[in-house]
Each structure stands twice: as C-alpha cells, then as structure tokens.
Structure 1
Amino acid sequence: MGRRAYAATLAAPGLLLAVVGLFHPHHLSPATADRWFALHLPGLVVFPLVGVALAALVGRRTDPVAWLVRLAAYTYATFYTALDVVSGVAAGWVTRELGPGVPRPDEVRLLFRIGTPLGEVGSWALLVTVVVLVLDQVRRHGVRAAGGVLLLPGAWLVHTEHIFAPGGVVGTVLLAAGTAALALAGTRSGAGRS
C-alpha cells in the first residue's frame, strides 16, 4: 500500500465519525430515537477503529512507549464502545420501542448513568493515547510529525463534545487529519510501519 493510501486508510475512521456526527441528535427523545439508535450501530465498528489507527502508528515496535500507546488505544476503544452500546444502542432502542408520547422511564436514565462514566474512561484514554503518541512521533520524526499535534485538540473536543456537531465533528476531523499526518511522517522517514 502506498503511503498516501495508508494515511487515508488510517484517517478514514475519524472522517466516518465526523459524517455520523453531522446527523447525530443532541438529545434522545421519542422523536429522535430512530436516528439515535441507527447512528450508534456503525459506531460499534468505527469507534474502535480510531484506536486501531492510532495504535498502528507505532508499527511493530516493542518498546515501552509503543506498548503504552497500544494499551491506551485499547482502553479507549473498549470503554468508548461501551458508551456507544449502552447510551447509544440500548437507550435509543428502548426509547424507540416505548413509542411517542411515553415519558422516558427511569430505566433509560439509568442507562445513561452507567454509559456516561464508561465514556469518560474512554475519552481520557484517548487523550492519553494522543499525548504519548504525539510526543513519541515528534521525538522520532521531528518537524515532519508536526501535523500530529492536531490530535490533541481533536481528542479534547471528542472528550468534551462527543461527536455532536459542531465541536465533536471538528474533533473527529482533527483526529483524522492528525492521524494521517503522523502516518505520512512515519512513512516518509521509513519507520511508519516497521
């Protein structure tokens, strides 16, 4: 795979989340439940792929920093997917099945009570991943890795805004751009996938 195709492949999950975020309702209600539920289904696949893409940037390295990036990316992927399952798929499904005119029961609120802290763990793990990764890549590739700093505001916006438009959409685009920049920096120096 060519270096541009490799960078585009690693950027794709962030860009897909940005598209989903453009249509993501800001609140779950009987009127938005169908869309809420439907948009969280692709999240089951795409949210973890952001972590996979970030972990891929350390290649096959076996040093402690590479393993820290992988572990933090795995933690993000696991816990943020749990948020997607509980607060997205499950809460959306239950609200949709209750139908219009039915007040949201406490059981749906309880789903958010567990989903939100799971997502917090995931989003903090994403922040750890990108901080360690950016420091590592700048140390290894110098100024060629400068575009990777886009990961930092991207992860912060996902932490504070999820993928809700506009902030969360901007965050996922920045994650995609920063990932692509680091992929290009690594392949230019010959160390991208080794």
Structure 2
Amino acid sequence: MDRRAYAAVLALPGLALGVVGLFHPHSLSYATADRWFTLHLPGLLVFPLVGVALAAVVGRRTDPVAWVVRLAAYTYATCYTALDVVSGIAAGWVTRELGPGVPRPDEVRLLFRLGTPLGEVGSWALLATVVVLLADQLRRQGVRAAGGVLLLPGAWLVHTDHIFAPGGVAGTVLLGLGTAALVLARPPRHVPEQPAPALTG
C-alpha cells in the first residue's frame, strides 16, 4: 500500500471518533439515553482501532521498545473498550429502558463507578503508548517525526475529556493526525534495481 494511503488508513479511527464526539451528549438522562447508547455501539469497534493504529507504526519490529508500545496500546484498547461497554452501552441502555421521569437510580451510578476507573487505566495506557512511541520515532527519524508531537496533546485531551466536544473531539483528531504524521515521516522504501538479464547467444 502507498505510504500516504497507509497513513490515511491509520488516521481514520481517531478522525472517526472525532466525528462521533461532535454528537456525543455531555450528560446521560432519559432524553439523551438513546443517542448515548447508539453512539457507543460503533465506539465498541473504533476505540480499539486507535491502539491498533499506534501499534502499527512500529511495524514488525521485535525490539523491547516495540513490544512496550504494543502492550501499552493493548492495555488502552482493552480497558477503554470496557469503559465503552459499561458506561456507554450498558448505562445508556438501562437509562433508556427505565423510561421518562425516572431519576438516575443507584444501579446506573454503580455502572459508572465500574466503568470510570477502567477508562482511567485505559487513558493512562494511551498516554504511555504515545510517549514511548514518540520518543522512539524521534530517536529513529529525527526532525522528520516532529509531526508526531500532536499525539501528546491528543492523548491528554482524551484522558481529560473522553470524546466530549470540544476538548475530546480535538484530542481524537490530533491522535489521528499524529499517527499519520509518524507514518509519513518514514523514509520511502526504494525497490532495488534488478540486474539486467545476461544476453546469451
């Protein structure tokens, strides 16, 4: 795949979450429960892909730093997916099914008490992923990898604002753009010229 096309593919998860975040309610109530529940369904598929995209930057390398990036990205993907399931899908569904005019019950509060710490672990793992990955790429690529610095504020905004607009939306978009920038920083691969076949008479 062309390097620019590959960069665009790896940017898609972050950019897609940014679009979802524009419609994400800032609070959960019966009035917002259906949208809260519905938006977290595609999130179940897209949140882990942010970690997959970051891990893909190290390619097939087998050195310790590459494995740290993969493990941190896996921790983010697992724990943030758990947040999406518990505080997103489950809490939204329960609130919707309770019907209008029902105050948020303790059962829903308990879901958030479970989901929020899982999300914290996931967002710290995301921060660890981008710090290690960025340091690695700056060491390897030098100033060409400077665009990857976008990952740092991106991960921090996701840590503080989830995907809520405007901060979380900006964070996910920066994650997408920073990932793409690191792919584009790689020097292009040159295909070695094949020797001309010998002429035989």
TM category (shorter chain) comes to over 0.9
How many Å separate the matches in 1 of 2:183 and 2:98? 46
Structure 2 counterparts to residues 1-194 of structure 1, below 5 A: 1-186=1-186, 188-190=187-189
Q: CA deviation at 1:108?
A: 0.2
Q: Give the partner amino acid of 2:83.
A: L
Helix, strand or coil: the match of 1:127? helix
Helix, strand or coil: the match of 1:32? helix
Segments of 5+ residues of structure 1 without an aligned counterpart are none
Helix, strand or coil: the match of 2:58? coil
Q: Give the partner amino acid of 2:137.
A: Q
After superposition, what is the alpha-carbon deviation per residue over 1:24-45, rounded to whole angstroms, capped at 9, x for unaligned?
0000000000000000000100
Q: Give the partner amino acid of 1:114.
A: L
Q: CA RMSD in A?
A: 1.0
TM-score normalised by L of structure 2: 0.93
Structure 1 residue ranges (4+ consecutive) displaced by more than 2 angstroms after TM superposition: 188-191
Aligned residues: 190
How many Å separate the matches in 2 of 1:12 and 1:99? 36
Q: Which of these two proteins has the greater Rg computed from alpha carbons? A: 2
Identity, % of aligned positions: 85
Segments of 5+ residues of structure 2 without an aligned counterpart are 191-201
Q: CA deviation at 1:189?
A: 4.8
After superposition, what is the alpha-carbon deviation per residue over 1:67-110, rounded to whole angstroms, capped at 9, x for unaligned?
00000000000000000000000000000001111111100000
Q: Give the partner amino acid of 1:61.
A: R
How many Å separate the matches in 2 of 1:92 and 1:157? 23
Q: CA deviation at 1:190?
A: 3.9
TM-score normalised by L of structure 1: 0.96
